Structure 1
């Protein structure tokens, strides 16, 4: 398990490998010595990225301040990190992920009143080098998302891209595998493992803060390592499956609430497809999530999940001609596109949470 410390020179958050007694900062090259790694605490929320430095002609970093202006509502701030990765010009290229990111941003601003200034977009289309979805930038974006969060805040993390899994060795996974997200540079820098995602955006959540994750990727069912998975059958009956590690490793929040919708179960794949829209390619899960909201199924978590699953089953069985409705009107804004996988894909969106609840009674809100 990684721990977070601050560089002794420039205060950049660093991840300390298990058992390490020192670490070199990749920014200023200073070496920080650790007397007892077990005594290390996460860095205070007041530290910002990147550290102060000489003026640069590059665009200002999105991580060096909280969203400007007053809170959007009296109950707290809204902040979001949206990641869409197409892996263009590679053998891993996806067609719909940039569309997913743009549609999610549109939904958050126009349906859920997220201020534009509080939404951090990481895609290959960004010109700011800090907003390219590399592993380093994705890590820093996740730090930024929870940085300084206060009771009443609503946080959202949306990811559309490749996901994978790898053998687990610390005993905290029921199926023996860690789920992962694949940054743009994953082939050289490696993947982001669910343990790190949990440590970065789940465990720090204080009481009164709410986090939603919408993860459109393969093998994404438990990619936040949340403690409970909603196991639902096709008739809508469900029970909560306990995924708390038998090893006793802490995976919960610090009193806050974390809920995740994901594209498929841990052993399934998620489609990047044109089957759901005749306009352009999208991630099947993102499309069906937005469609559920726009068609009035967003009252509860259960109504969203059942609507998403029904739409994907219908698309898989009928060749995908759902008709986009309001969602199609969102997609017409986009100039990118391309052909994707045809109909017939098989995936079941999943719901996980830090605590079980009545999915048909708990209101959904961002």
Structure 2
């Protein structure tokens, strides 16, 4: 049975394995010694030379806010970008690493996110803390909201496998929990929407904005937000109430949380591998970036409508990016700039903590 101890440095609760006498904090890397008077050795008066210290652990990117200028009057910008290809496995995806690269490029060049304030978790990273394992994804999400202040703008982008599993506590309208699949999900398990909600939604204080862009299967309500914008093909919409019958509040602590996802909870998401024999991207990420670059990023409704139209009517030059801040990267990654003819059977979704007029509310990151 595990016991909880607080880190001696940052006070983060840690699970101590049975019999362990010390534990290293995954957040700040401090080692906490566990005192046990019953098993403590008798005091020694010898002057033996202590053993030399071992090699220092590599620094963790999650121990503090990334370096950079002090927050300005508009607050800080921080982002966590996850792209998982599951390479060399039967679950391999083609476009997720490209999605991560494109999203980072967009955030830096279109929305002025400092590069030092963006944590990338992909299999291409050499830093062991930035491989998209379940543990590293959890720590990155913790870092994203840690110390946030009014005026801050946070972004979580995920491109990878999504799934769902039966819900037994009655807090899901459709009876299923939605999940994200870390690189090691087959051995360590998936990250369930309840945990995502508890990690980055409910702690968010007033004045902080969080946008999630989730390009995965079954991702419609993967942040467990209370309201879903149900939009038809004409662009008309209604807000569905997804608050659990248990009465548990799944919104924030006053902050604003809005999520774009690749498809409804019962749908799957596609990539654009039909475009090119060289490489591909996720269809949802591609359409999200295109909507912004084509001038449809003025409101949340215009973005969602443009994304749904592009995916539904994909073909020909439907996704030609034209001249834009990310054109050079996307056209290099996706030859031709359009989805395969015939479209995809997925409908991007919008969820939020509170209903709002999607065609009146300005979009900004």
* TM-score, length of structure 1 as denominator length: 0.84
Q: Does 1:51 align with 2:29?
A: yes
Aligned counterpart, 1:323: 320
Greater shift in the superposed pair: 346-355 or 321-330: 321-330
What secondary structure does 1:79 align onto?
A: strand
Give CA deviations for 1:149-168 in whole Å, capped at 9, x if unaligned: 00000000000000000000
Q: Is it true that 1:347 corresponds to 2:346 in the alignment?
A: yes
Q: What is the DSSP-based 3-state SS (H/G/I as helix, E as strand, rest coil) of the residue aligned with 1:122?
A: strand
Partner of 1:259 in structure 2?
A: 258
> How much has 1:267 moved relative to structure 2?
0.2
| Offset, 1:272 | 1.8
Residues 218-257 of structure 1: matches in 2 within 5 Å? Answer: 218-257=217-256
Match of 1:202 in 2: 201
- The CA RMSD over aligned residues, in Å, is 2.6
Match of 2:306 in 1: 307
Partner of 1:192: 191
Deviation, 1:74, is 1.7
- Closer, same or farther: CA 88–29 of 1 in aligned 2, 3 Å: farther
1:77-125 CA-partner distances (Å, limit 9, x unpaired): 0000000000000000000000000000000000000000000000000
Contact kept? 1:159, 1:217, Cα under 8 Å: yes
**Inter-partner Cα distance in structure 1 for 2:85 and 2:178:** 20
Q: Which runs of 5+ in 2 are unaligned?
A: 32-52
SS of the residue 1:164 aligns to: strand
Q: What is residue 36 of structure 1 aligned with on the other side?
A: none
Please name the residue that 2:16 is paired with: 24
Mapped partners of 1:81, 1:143: distance in 2 = 10
Q: 1:268 and 1:85, CA in 2 relative to 1: closer, same or farther beyond 3 A?
A: same
> Residues of 1 paired with 2:246 and 2:227: CA distance?
16
**Residues 183, 118 of structure 1: alpha-carbon distance in 2 compared, 3 angstrom cutoff:** same
CA distance in 1: counterparts of 2:331 and 2:141, whole angstroms: 30
- Rounded to whole Å, the distance in 2 between the matches of 1:290 and 1:298 is 9
The offset of 1:57, in angstroms, is: 5.7
Deviation at 1:323, TM superposition (A): 2.4
Structure 1 residue 29 displacement after superposition: 6.1
Q: CA deviation at 1:331?
A: 2.0
- The residue aligned with 2:356 is 357
Match of 1:212 in 2: 211
Q: Give 1:287's aligned residue.
A: 286
Instruction: Call closer, same or farther: CA 1:200–1:176 in 2, change over 3 Å.
Output: same
Give the structure 2 partner of residue 136 of structure 1: 135
Give the aligned partner of residue 161 of structure 1: 160
Q: Distance in 2 between matches of 1:294 and 1:154?
A: 20
SS of 2:313's partner is: helix
Equivalenced residue count is 334
Q: Output the CA distance in 1 between the equivalents of 2:352 and 2:134.
A: 25
**Mind listing any 5+ residue stretches in structure 1 that lack a counterpart?**
16-22, 32-46
Question: Partners of 1:290 and 1:125 in 2: how far apart?
Answer: 22
Q: 1:276·1:323 contact (CA, 8 Å) conserved in 2?
A: no
Q: Aligned equivalents of 2:276 and 2:103: distance in 1?
A: 16
* Cα distance in 2 for residues equivalent to 1:365 and 1:243: 25
Mapped partners of 2:334, 2:344: distance in 1: 25
After superposition, the C-alpha distances for 1:123-176 in whole angstroms (9 at most, x for unaligned) are 000000000000000000000000000000000000000000000011110100
- The answer on whether the counterparts of 1:230 and 1:238 sit within 8 Å (CA) in structure 2 is yes
Asked whether the equivalents of residues 279 and 332 of structure 1 are also in contact (C-alpha less than 8 Å), the reply is no
Give the C-alpha shift of residue 328 in structure 1: 4.2
3-state SS, counterpart of residue 29 of structure 2 = coil
Distance 1:98 1:351 in 2: 23
The structure-2 alpha-carbon separation of the partners of 1:55 and 1:75, relative to structure 1 and needing over 3 Å to count, comes to: farther
Structure 1 residue 51, shift from structure 2 partner: 2.6
Q: Is the 8 A contact 1:277 1:324 kept in 2?
A: no
Alpha-carbon separation, structure 1, partners of 2:184 and 2:340: 24
TM-score between the two structures when normalised by the length of structure 2? 0.85
SS at 2:228 equivalent: strand
